[in-house]
Amino acid sequence: MPTFSSRATLAATLILALSALVTGCGHGDEKETTRTLRIYVSQPLKGDRGGEDMLRAIEIANEDEGGRIDSAEIEVVGLNDSDETGNWVESLVIRNAREAAADEEAVAYIGEFDSGATEVAMPILNRAGMLQVSSSATAVKLTKPTPDLGELIRPTGIRTFGRVVPNDNVQGAALALFMDQEDVDEVFVVDDGDTYGKGLRYRFERVARHTGIEVTGAARLTREARVGAVARRVTSSEADALLFAGSNLDLARDLFETVHREDNFIKLFGGDGLSLSTFLESIGDTGLDTYITAPQLPAGNYAQSGESFLSGFQERYGRPAEPMAVFAYEAGRAVIDSIRRGARGDIATEPIDALRINTRNAFFDISERASPLGSYSIDANGDSTLTFYGAYRVEDGKLVLGRTINVPPSLLREDE
């Protein structure tokens, strides 16, 4: 018969064994962490343009994915690419991309927020063979460049950039359909001279005529000193609407307010570059005549994982996430899943060059992925196959969804 001492020893042994079993059940087949792999995130972290929420969304995605893949810890490294006004700075973008490219444990890069900044970062990351994914850069030229531009942004000739957000072929058509539904016959178009603005204007003008909308005039606005002159051109054109194609929030606000003050019958349209809370809250009563297209939808319109992210963000930070943050969340999840699917053998010892190649191949192989945004694939150019945009009015500094526009293939026109 066992003595008291031996029974106590046996009991302690059983407790330790059960404890180990419970720990194993709680964390799956975890191995000891022997390597740290990094995902770089470059966003406008200054100037209240929503970059902080994009970074937080990617960090939450990493937490939700367990923060590791087998024995490798996944670390998210956030970098700022903007000045105090929130506008991207070329030297900062170059610095960020070079830092990621030179990091021997960096696997992927999520950024930039702006299309122009993305264009600057692309060749640096392309030479490093690193997957670059954007959750907000929509310019068509980034995935479908002309031959001359292709040589500049893809110097290796290998595709390394993709995105989870619909491009401006979709948004240009959504804007035209939105205007048509709002009984706009004639529109004056103004761009801000940046990659996004010029591209959106180009795409919109080519699809507008297919919906019966006439472009009565166009201008480029790159500095505040010209706001008054451009506004007079808009109001004297007798157009029903103004489209500001761009993401310079100060120029957009001043132009909208000036035009609205001179003629409050003109409807004011903007793309997703103006869907930020900072802009919406700054335009006051002008918002009553402001219409915005943006790919995000209000809470209650996403798959369960998206709704969980939005509610979790609200609980953690005490306020709603910036509207585009759900796309950053999906970008983070898709990149981490691509690292996982791309790993060959032991991720702790796989050479970084091989990890980068296999990760980007896995991303470009995405097909019918179930995501917070709905099911989508990545096409041969690196574009998401999602084709919906929200059509919004502005009320009390917030976006209010009027309808969802699912753009038909007949309007997704290439260069003509």
How do residues 18-30 score in pLDDT, each as one tens digit?
Answer: 444 344 444 444 5
Which neighbouring-strand residues pair with 292? 270, 392
Based on the fold, state whether residues 400 and 285 are members of the same structural domain.
Answer: yes
Which neighbouring-strand residues pair with 389? 405
Mean pLDDT of the chain: 91
Does 172 reside within a domain?
A: yes
DSSP string, 321-333: PPTTHHHHHHHHH
Based on the fold, state whether residues 251 and 396 are members of the same structural domain.
Answer: yes
Quick one: 50 exposed, middle or buried, by C-beta within 10 A (0-12, 13-18, 19+)?
Answer: buried
Based on the fold, state whether residues 227 and 353 are members of the same structural domain.
Answer: no
What pTM value is reported for the model? 0.89
Q: What is the domain range of residue 276?
A: 168-294+389-411
Query: Which position has the token pair 């490798």?
Result: 72
Those residues whose C-beta lies under 8 Å from the C-beta of residue 388, and which sit 6 or more positions away, are 166, 295, 297, 374, 404, 405, 406, 407
Based on the fold, state whether residues 183 and 283 are members of the same structural domain.
Answer: yes
Based on the fold, state whether residues 231 and 306 are members of the same structural domain.
Answer: no
CB 35 within 8 A of CB 72: yes
CB 161 within 8 A of CB 134: yes
Assign residue 368 the CATH number of its domain. Answer: 3.40.50.2300
Sorting pLDDT into bands at 50, 70 and 90, what band is 299? confident
Based on the fold, state whether residues 314 and 250 are members of the same structural domain.
Answer: no
Based on the fold, state whether residues 138 and 197 are members of the same structural domain.
Answer: no
Based on the fold, state whether residues 278 and 181 are members of the same structural domain.
Answer: yes
Based on the fold, state whether residues 112 and 215 are members of the same structural domain.
Answer: no
Q: Which of 11-15, 231-235, 241-245, 365-369 has the lowest mean pLDDT?
A: 11-15
DSSP string, 9-74: HHHHHHHHHHHHHHHHHHH-S-----EEEEEEEEE--SSSSSHHHHHHHHHHHHHHTTSEETTEEE
Based on the fold, state whether residues 123 and 39 are members of the same structural domain.
Answer: yes
Q: Please tell me the predicted confidence (pLDDT) of residue 108.
A: 98
Domain count across the chain: 2
Segment (H or E) for 92? helix 90-102
Tell me the per-residue pLDDT of 137-193, one tens digit each, with 9 for 90 and over: 999 999 999 999 999 999 999 999 999 999 999 999 999 999 999 999 999 999 999
Tell me the per-residue pLDDT of 10-61, one tens digit each, with 9 for 90 and over: 444 444 444 443 444 444 445 688 899 999 999 999 998 999 999 999 999 9
